Amino acid sequence: MARPKKFLKTLSEEELIKIKELSNSRTEEVRKVQRAKIILLASQGKSNETISKEVGVSIPTICKVLKKWTVFDIDAALSDLARSGRPPVIDVAARTWIIQLACHLPQDYKDGPHSQLWTITSLCNYIHKHCMNEGHECLANVQESTVWEILNSNDIKPHKIKYYLERKDPDFKEKAKKVLLLYKRVAWILQMTREQTEEG
- On whether both 112 and 71 belong to a single domain, the answer is no
96 located within any domain: yes
Note the Cα 125 to chain centre separation in Å: 11
Alpha helix stretches (DSSP H) within 56-171: 59-71, 74-78, 92-102, 120-130, 144-153
Report the pLDDT value the prediction gives residue 7, as an integer from 0 to 100: 52
Inform me whether the pLDDT recorded for 4 exceeds 80: no
DSSP designation for 7: G
Residues 136 and 111 in one domain: yes
- 113: helix, coil or strand? coil
Euclidean distance between CA atoms 170 and 141, whole angstroms: 31
57 & 113 share domain: no
Region 92-111 average pLDDT: 86
Model-wide pTM > 0.75 = no
Structural domain total, the chain: 2
Do residues 39 and 64 make contact, with C-beta atoms less than 8 angstroms apart? Answer: no
In this structure, the answer to whether residues 12 and 68 fall within a common structural domain is: yes
Report how far residue 200's alpha carbon sits from residue 197's, in angstroms, rounded to the nearest whole number: 5
Residues 96 and 147 in one domain: yes
- Are 115 and 146 members of one domain? yes
Task: Please report the pLDDT score of residue 86 as a whole number.
Answer: 53
Contact between 136 and 96 (Cβ < 8 Å): no
Helix (H, G, I), strand (E, B) or coil at 35: helix
Q: Do residue 62 and residue 107 come from a single domain?
A: no
Do 62 and 100 fall into the same domain? no
Residues in the chain: 200
**Is residue 145 situated within a structural domain?**
yes
- Per residue in 165-190, pLDDT tens? 555 667 777 777 777 777 777 777 77
Do 22 and 58 lie in one domain? The reply is yes
Residue 197, pLDDT score: 67
Q: List the domain range (segments joined by +) for residue 62.
A: 5-78
Please give the distance of CA 17 from its chain centroid, rounded to a whole number.
23
- 173's CB contacts (< 8 A; 6+ apart) are none
Q: Is residue 34 part of a domain?
A: yes
Is 131 inside any structural domain? yes
